[in-house]
Amino acid sequence: MPGTGLPIKRWRRVEYEQLVEKGVFTPGDRVELIDGLLVVAEPQSSPHYAALRLVERALARAFGEGWDVRAQAPIALDDTSEPEPDVAVVRGTLRDYVAAHPADPVLVVEVALTSLDFDREHKASLYARAGRPEYWIVNLVDRVLEVRRDPAPAPSAPYGWDYNTMEAFGATDLVRALAAPAAPIAVAELLP
């Protein structure tokens, strides 16, 4: 673990993908590559899974044709990170990503219950470092949608980047994704 003095092995994305291809991880293994470290993903509680599916459906309606709304699918974020966000929206169709995972999501969404602190601090910094323009957290603890935008350097953040703006939207609010501004989404549609 970082900071414990114990030796650790940092993985590159290419090495991680080789482990996946060789069957080192089984389909039930919920791991992500985050800045070179293998991190266990949040377990799927019923509210978490319901919110994930609600987000997936709402974003598919809002973005429409020409966009792939991916649930719990890998994103080739950089050389040391291949997270599997709960939902990500990328340009194109599923067939565009047969040979390689997408690297350029226009929107990344995490559903958070027990992982709220990690998603706010580490995942936000990771997505900001990768220049992702918009990151949403469906915060099941407080029943709000946290929308983060404007990635910028932030020396105190875990990966040296964070978002300049964060706005919380309640169940009665509407939100618009930067890449689909003509399609307002009711926050209530995202909450189980």
For residue range 125-147, list pLDDT tens digits in order.
Answer: 999 999 999 999 999 999 999 99
Cα(141)–Cα(58) distance, rounded to whole angstroms? Answer: 20
Rounded CA gap, 31 and 24, in Å? 11
Predicted local distance difference test score (pLDDT) of residue 27: 64
What pLDDT digit, counting tens, does each position of 5-43 carry? 777 778 888 887 787 777 777 766 777 777 777 778 767
- What was the pLDDT predicted at 16? 78
Q: Tell me the backbone φ, ψ of residue 62, rounded to 5 degrees.
A: -70, -40
pLDDT digits (tens, 9 = 90+) for 51-101: 999 999 999 999 999 999 999 999 999 999 989 999 999 999 989 999 989
The residue-averaged pLDDT of 112-120 equals 94
Instruction: Report, as an integer, the average pLDDT of 185-192.
Output: 97
pLDDT band for position 1 (cuts 50, 70, 90): very low
How many angstroms separate the CA atoms of 54 and 51, rounded? 5
Which residue ranges form the domains of the chain, and what is each CATH number? 42-189 (3.90.1570.10)
| 87 closest CA partner among 74, 100, 104 | 74
